[in-house]
Amino acid sequence: MVAQDLKKFTTPIFPFTAIVGQEEMKLALQLNVIDPKIGGVMIMGDRGTGKSTTIRAIADLLPEIEVIKDDPFNSHKSDLDLMGNDVKNAIERGETLETALIKIPMVDLPLGATEDRVCGTIDIEKALTEGIKAFEPGLLAKANRGILYVDEVNLLDDHLVDILLDSAASGWNTVEREGISIRHPARFVLVGSGNPEEGELRPQLLDRFGMHAEIRTVKDPVLRVKVVEERTSFDQTPLLWLQNYEVQQQELRDKIVAAQKLLSSVELDYNLRIKISEVCSLLDVDGLRGDIVTNRAAKAHAAYDGRDKVTINDIEKIITLCLRHRLRKDPLESIDSGDKVSKVFKEVFEIED
């Protein structure tokens, strides 16, 4: 069967560039894809606002990646931080490894997942009887170099959220059983989504997400009708839709790839860094994670716009996304945390409303 025929059997995914509104969520996802070290994004919002659709759409938009063929960790052919031990050993032995192009992995973490399913398991019996480390990879192995999506992350067991955040931050997953230890690369963009009505995430876990996007149900009736009509039209003729948006999809894909290449040469002036830290200090943000993420996101935003120097405008666009979930909650305060970040930013950077 030719590849063209196989395409007919794959479920069409709504084009990212066709999604109406939800700019905060779209920007946060694109910046995390440009620089995964931002630390993922938490998307909080009402049910039925297109969270899952948007996340699947960004994974589908991204260009294919080159991996070592039949490797469970989607190992990179030359980057040591992105390859499993077997591949490292084979390269040291001077073996020639076959590579293949695959779509960016998009892994859904089911709510009822166990730790073994997430991290992988070691077959102790095989290890003892045959003297080999028999490792059964889990979802973290599958997500290496891709996107790991956790819907209803606020309902997930805290222990599992901790494991996910640790792996996302370090880029590695370690599994230990009965004195046997296996370590493999697990560098992915962690995307969590949830509905605030179903409970908040613990502050110390929330703080570990790089960015926090809030999405609301569209109130404008004209826009609502447009969203409904577009979705209905896509469901009826998906292939025609994908053709119509192919040029826009390719333009955005090229823009993201160009930004990834430019990122390492983007500069952020010292005086701007001082002001970012001043905003964090005035907002009483615990730790330095807020400063680090804001710096990273500002650079990613400049690269996204094709510039090698960060401007105040870049910082303004991303600072609320990076800091709003790090503020201490004061039940008596009436001002929204996003507005509070914006207000302090304008004071420090001396921007008039």
Query: What positions carry a catalytic annotation?
Result: 289
Q: What is the DSSP letter of 307?
A: -
Residue 314 in contact with residue 302, Cβ under 8 Å?
Answer: yes
Distances (CA, A) of 245 to 10, 56, 167, 227, 229: 18, 16, 35, 16, 16
Handedness of CA 287, 292, 294, 297 (dihedral sign): negative
- Tell me which H or E stretch contains 291: helix 289-304
C-alpha–C-alpha distance, residues 144 and 205, integer Å: 21
Q: Tokens 């053709």 belong to which residue?
A: 243
Q: Which amino acid is at 213?
A: A
**Nearest by Cα to 291 from 269, 267, 274:** 274
Strand 120-122 to strand 135-137: parallel, antiparallel, or no bridges (unpaired)?
antiparallel
Q: Quick check: helix, strand or coil at residue 151?
A: coil
CB 349 within 8 A of CB 315: yes
